[in-house]
Amino acid sequence: MATDTHRAIDAVWRIESPRLIAGLARIVRDVGLAEDLAQDALVAALEQWPESGVPRNPGAWLMATAKHHAIDLLRRHARIERKHGELGYELEALQQRPESDLDAAFDDDVGDDLLRLVFTACHPVLSTEARVALTLRLLGGLTTEEIARAFLVPEPTIAQRIVRAKRTLARAHVAFEVPTGAERAVRLSSVLEVLYLIFNEGYTATVGDDWMRPALCEDALRLGRILAELMPRAPEVHGLVALMEIQASRSRARTGASGAPVMLLEQNRALWDQLLIGRGLAALDRADQLGGGRGPYAVQAAIAACHARAPTPEATDWARIVELYEVLAALAPSPVVELNRAVAIAMVFGPQAGLELVEALTAEASLENYHLLPSVRGDLLSKVGRFGEAREAFEHAASLTRNARERQLLLERARACTGDSA
């Protein structure tokens, strides 16, 4: 029973922690302190819920607990009496509301707390790497391990970035706000990167027993849509929203009845959400109209649109996808883009052509622990009849992934590699 409760607490934390931290940060004006208070509430839940049970509204319980911890903390520290006065006023007002309305009390309209948290964590006082890592931690509720895998860098590096980022924000007295004018534009690229990394962690979880974490996709989409309303004439915002909408449209088709992953070319396209596809295509058109059809996110959205418009895998315009990946490689060159381009080239010119490009990427140091490289290599090797090598590649990919569902799929593909002709 206690194990079940701990699993429930973990699930609640994944969903509620971003808004909890954001709501607290707006009040205490300190991102680091807000996270500490949220963690205190989590500890209280771990201590009390196994005996008392998970409350009817766990998010409100966590917020109320964190609020009381904030009051106690400020009372213990006379050196911040001014902040205590400011905080006390807001908390007194909140206490007048029914507990069921507590979550709503921490939301406002266009300046959504979660969006404020993203822009605060993406302040120019931080390095780009620190902005992304901190926001993933605070907004996405991701562990340092998950963030490290997203960046393909060591976990201690990410942990240090997060600690230093919070200290830097506190020392600089960064305001908890959505900036305006030129400052907003400066921070926008980091915000877009963060939102898409959060979406990707929900779309294909790096660790755990589930292939997807839909709540993260929903958070990223919601924040992307809010950002598009805040910045209606920013084409890359619409490009990112288009990309997320179209990718999210495949969610129901990406897992089978048992929860096992279903790859793109094997998905039942009748399950693709046409409403989300329509929203995505409309956002892509908006980006084009604003002159941003050649931004990195808009180009990726155009690639996703090629799949969305095709009724079958065979009807996909792979030649167009190759062209778009070439554009993307020029805009945002990276080994991962080259790997994706190799897959598209294999669809147009045959698996051997794609395999030659993939083999060249095996020397890329940044992809050494990237499981999709041996996974793609295994797929292409199997298609050219080199089954023994394909089996080894799939087994290597399985050893690198931390997602249980994906590991099982890769091992199944390894076992299916028989009849080596080499």
- Residue pLDDT, tens place only, 82-117: 555 555 555 555 445 444 444 444 344 334 687 788
pLDDT for the residue 13: 81
For a pLDDT cut of 70, what percent of the chain falls above it?
88
What's this model's pTM, rounded to 2 decimal places? 0.74
> For 208, which DSSP code?
E
Q: CB within 8 A of 144, min separation 6: which ones?
A: 137, 155, 158, 159, 162
Structure tokens at 176: 């908890």
Write the DSSP assignment of 300-317 as a string of letters: HHHHHHHHHH-SSGGGS-
pLDDT for the residue 114: 77
Q: What is the pLDDT of residues 331-341, one digit of tens each?
A: 999 999 999 99
* pLDDT band, very low/low/confident/very high, at 239 (cuts 50, 70, 90): very high
d(C-alpha 290, C-alpha 214), whole Å: 30
User: Of 284-298, 299-313, 371-385, where does mean pLDDT reach its minimum?
Assistant: 284-298
pLDDT for the residue 237: 95
Domain ranges of the chain: 1-107
Mean of pLDDT over the chain: 86
261 has a pLDDT exceeding 70: yes
Distances (CA, A) of 355 to 255, 290, 325, 379: 27, 38, 17, 9
Q: What is the pLDDT of residues 25-73, one digit of tens each?
A: 887 888 888 888 988 888 888 888 888 888 888 888 998 898 888 877 7
* pLDDT band, very low/low/confident/very high, at 369 (cuts 50, 70, 90): very high
319 has a pLDDT exceeding 90: yes
H-only helix segments in 106-154: 113-121, 128-140, 144-151
pLDDT for the residue 99: 44
Residue 332: CA count within 13 A, CB half-sphere:
16
Q: What is the pLDDT of residues 171-217, one digit of tens each?
A: 998 888 888 888 887 788 889 988 998 899 889 888 777 878 887 88
4 has a pLDDT exceeding 90: no
Q: Are 228 and 237 in contact (CB under 8 A)?
A: yes
User: Of 58-62, 252-256, 370-374, where does mean pLDDT reach its minimum?
Assistant: 58-62
